[in-house]
Amino acid sequence: MSNVVSEIRCKNCGAPLDLHPGELLSTCRYCGYTAVVGADSTFQLQHSLILNQHNAASTTDILQDWMRSGFMKPGDLAKKSNITMLELRYLPFWLVPLTATSNYEGVLERISPPSQRKGTIENSYDWLVLGRKAAEFPTRDYKVPVEGKIPFDYSKVEASAKFLNSEIENTEAIAHAKDEVEQHHQFLAKQEVDRLTNFSTTFKVEAATYLHAPLWFAQYDYKGRSYNAIIDGSSGAVLRADIPPVDFKMF
Ligand SMILES: [Zn+2]
């Protein structure tokens, strides 16, 4: 049986596309052409790339500096650990610029007697949505380094890196962003009232940007166990890293 997925070709240059099940957007590794899989129209949205500024050596240095610094880490972490995996991956994101206006009504109960309150929360965001479904990524901790953003150019993608396509489309990304912003505003409203009786949000959404950003995924061993870390390939910041538990000495 032939593999149907591998027979999809780039509409721009005819090269075979490296697509995996579930991916809804494709980016051609030869010409950089980006399209919605199966759609006849061309991709209308802006596609950007964040440049990678790091290599395996500098990423290892960053991780070892992280191991040596800060409290709550075993003192011998840098010395006794062993980096077992270090891989650059370009992850797909949607950057959704939106302004959200939430009107709320509620009851403030923490001060007696309870009183009715109402108010408005209005904020503008560049809300980031990861384009992968079954993935864990600290999206809220990740600030896209917008200064390092260029129009997408496949020749600037490191050849040895893993390149992941988006599994969600523009409209789904926007819906996702709205949901998360609304939840965030509910959280803010609950700082003002203890019980919400009315809450509604309206959105002004601008065109979303599709972008690929370089992230270094690392794994290290320490005392027989494996831990994960993610490092921003643009800024070199440690986005998230597991810390082994410190052995407590009894006094
Ligand atoms: Zn192509």
- The residue among 227, 181, 209 whose CA lies nearest residue 45 is 209
- Segments forming the whole domain that contains residue 35: 1-44
Strands 82-108 and 162-163: parallel
Note down pLDDT in tens along the chain; length 251 residues.
444 445 788 888 999 988 888 899 999 988 888 888 877 666 677 899 999 999 999 999 999 999 999 878 998 999 999 999 999 999 999 999 999 999 999 999 988 899 999 999 999 999 999 999 877 788 888 888 777 789 999 999 999 999 999 999 999 999 999 999 999 999 999 999 999 999 999 999 999 999 999 999 999 999 999 999 999 999 999 999 999 987 766 65
Q: How far is the centre of ligand 1, averaged over its atoms, from the C-alpha of 173 (Å)? A: 25
Q: How far is the centre of ligand 1, averaged over its atoms, from the C-alpha of 109 (Å)? A: 61
Q: How far is the centre of ligand 1, averaged over its atoms, from the C-alpha of 35 (Å)? A: 10
Do 55 and 40 belong together in one domain? no
Do 33 and 145 belong together in one domain? no
Residue 12 is predicted with a pLDDT of 87
Decide if 78 is inside a domain.
yes
Distance CA 191, CA 180 (A): 17
Q: How far is the centre of ligand 1, averaged over its atoms, from the C-alpha of 94 (Å)? A: 22
Do 49 and 13 belong together in one domain? no
Decide if 155 is inside a domain.
yes
Q: Classify the phi-psi angles of 236: left when phi > 0, otherwise alpha if psi is within -120 to 50, otherwise beta.
A: left
Residue 101 is predicted with a pLDDT of 98
Q: How far is the centre of ligand 1, averaged over its atoms, from the C-alpha of 219 (Å)? A: 34
- Residues with Cβ–ion distance below 5 A, ligand 1: 10, 12-13, 15, 28, 30-31, 33
Strand locations in 25-161 (E): 25-27, 34-36, 46-50, 82-108, 115-130, 149-151
Do 105 and 180 belong together in one domain? yes
Give the list of residues 6+ apart from residue 231 with CB closer than 8 angstroms, or none: 54, 59, 62, 63, 215, 216, 218, 237, 238, 239
Residue 2 is predicted with a pLDDT of 44
CB neighbours of residue 112 within 10 Å: 7
Q: How far is the centre of ligand 1, averaged over its atoms, from the C-alpha of 204 (Å)? A: 34
Q: How far is the centre of ligand 1, averaged over its atoms, from the C-alpha of 151 (Å)? A: 16
Q: How far is the centre of ligand 1, averaged over its atoms, from the C-alpha of 42 (Å)? A: 12
Do 75 and 27 belong together in one domain? no
Residue 39 is predicted with a pLDDT of 74
Distance CA 27, CA 14 (A): 12
Residue 81 is predicted with a pLDDT of 95
Do 207 and 173 belong together in one domain? yes
Q: How far is the centre of ligand 1, averaged over its atoms, from the C-alpha of 215 (Å)? A: 24
Strands 82-108 and 195-205: antiparallel
> Into how many domains does the chain fold?
2
Do 114 and 171 belong together in one domain? yes
Q: How far is the centre of ligand 1, averaged over its atoms, from the C-alpha of 205 (Å)? A: 31
Q: How far is the centre of ligand 1, averaged over its atoms, from the C-alpha of 115 (Å)? A: 63
Q: How far is the centre of ligand 1, averaged over its atoms, from the C-alpha of 41 (Å)? A: 15
Do 26 and 132 belong together in one domain? no
Q: How far is the centre of ligand 1, averaged over its atoms, from the C-alpha of 130 (Å)? A: 24
Do 22 and 69 belong together in one domain? no
Are 12 and 154 spatial neighbours (Cβ–Cβ below 8 Å)? no
